[in-house]
Amino acid sequence: MLMTIDNLTNSLKRYSQKLSDLIASVAYAFDYTQEVSIFQDEQATTNDILSCFEIIRAAFPDLPPEWYKVVSLRLKFKKFSRYQLYYATIRMIDTIKYPKPTPANLLAFDIKIKIIPEKEIFKHIQTMDEINEFEKIKSGDKIFYISKNQLEQIRNEISNV
């Protein structure tokens, strides 16, 4: 079954509710503050790609077959996740000027969040009260922090596509 834009947006809304857990799943590998993609789900399948291409084809009917070949290869090479592809498809339709987007217009869509290891949190706050502006996440035996404000902005961005 191929997806509709409504299917994509509803899937993204559900995904936005799991962000803290998904971020925790990759945070363990970090020993220093860095930004990571929030899209930490499984890699997009061929069916996901075909479904999104059908939606893109409806929005951009003049795209040549070569565009889809190039994008398909790059999606697989970059290991685009399912939800990153959903997000990129919707954002491309909403923001790219017609008539013809480039492959980079789709491939560039990502959302990153700053992950701060416990040992570095004091570099990011002035007073202990400011610690309440961060959500504590646990990954294995390590503690990390992410900005509650940034997390809420990301949830809103994903939920309102």
Number of domains in the chain: 2
pLDDT at 103: 93
Query: Residue 16 has what pLDDT?
Result: 76
Q: Which of 116, 138, 113 is nearest to 35 (CA)?
A: 113
Among 138, 79, 42, 158, smallest CA distance to 146 is for 138
Residue 135, classed as helix, strand or coil, is: strand
Beta-ladder partners of 112? 37
Q: Are residues 56 and 72 in the same domain?
A: yes
Domain boundary among 94, 109, 124: 109
Confirm whether 156 is domain-assigned.
yes
Tens of pLDDT, residue by residue, the chain (161 residues): 556 777 777 888 877 777 777 777 777 667 767 888 888 889 999 999 999 999 999 999 999 999 999 999 999 999 999 999 999 999 999 888 767 899 998 999 999 989 898 888 888 888 878 889 999 988 888 888 999 999 899 888 887 77
**CA pseudo-torsion sign 104, 105, 106, 107:** positive
- Its domain, for residue 139, covers 19-38+111-161
Tell me the sheet residues that pair with 145.
116, 136
The verdict on 70 and 93 lying in the same domain is yes
SS3 of residue 48 by DSSP? helix
Q: State the pLDDT at residue 84.
A: 95
Residues 132 and 155 placed together within one structural domain of the fold: yes
Q: The tokens 């646990």 sit on which residue?
A: 138
122 alpha carbon, distance to own chain's centre: 27
Q: Are residues 45 and 96 in the same domain?
A: yes
Domain contains 81: yes
**Residue 59 covered by a domain:** yes
**Helix, strand, coil content of the chain in percent (nearest 5):** 55, 15, 30
| Same domain assignment for residues 58 and 117 | no
Rounded to an integer, what distance in angstroms lies between the CA atom of residue 112 and that of residue 38? 6
Instruction: Give the angle 11-16-21 at the CA atoms, nearest 5°.
Output: 120
What pLDDT score does 104 carry? 92
Q: Answer yes or no: do 103 and 73 share one domain.
A: yes
Residue 101 lies in a domain: yes
Tell me what pLDDT residue 23 has: 76
Same structural domain, 45 and 31: no
Q: State whether 119 and 99 are in the same domain.
A: no
5 is a domain residue: no
Q: Is the same domain home to 134 and 156?
A: yes
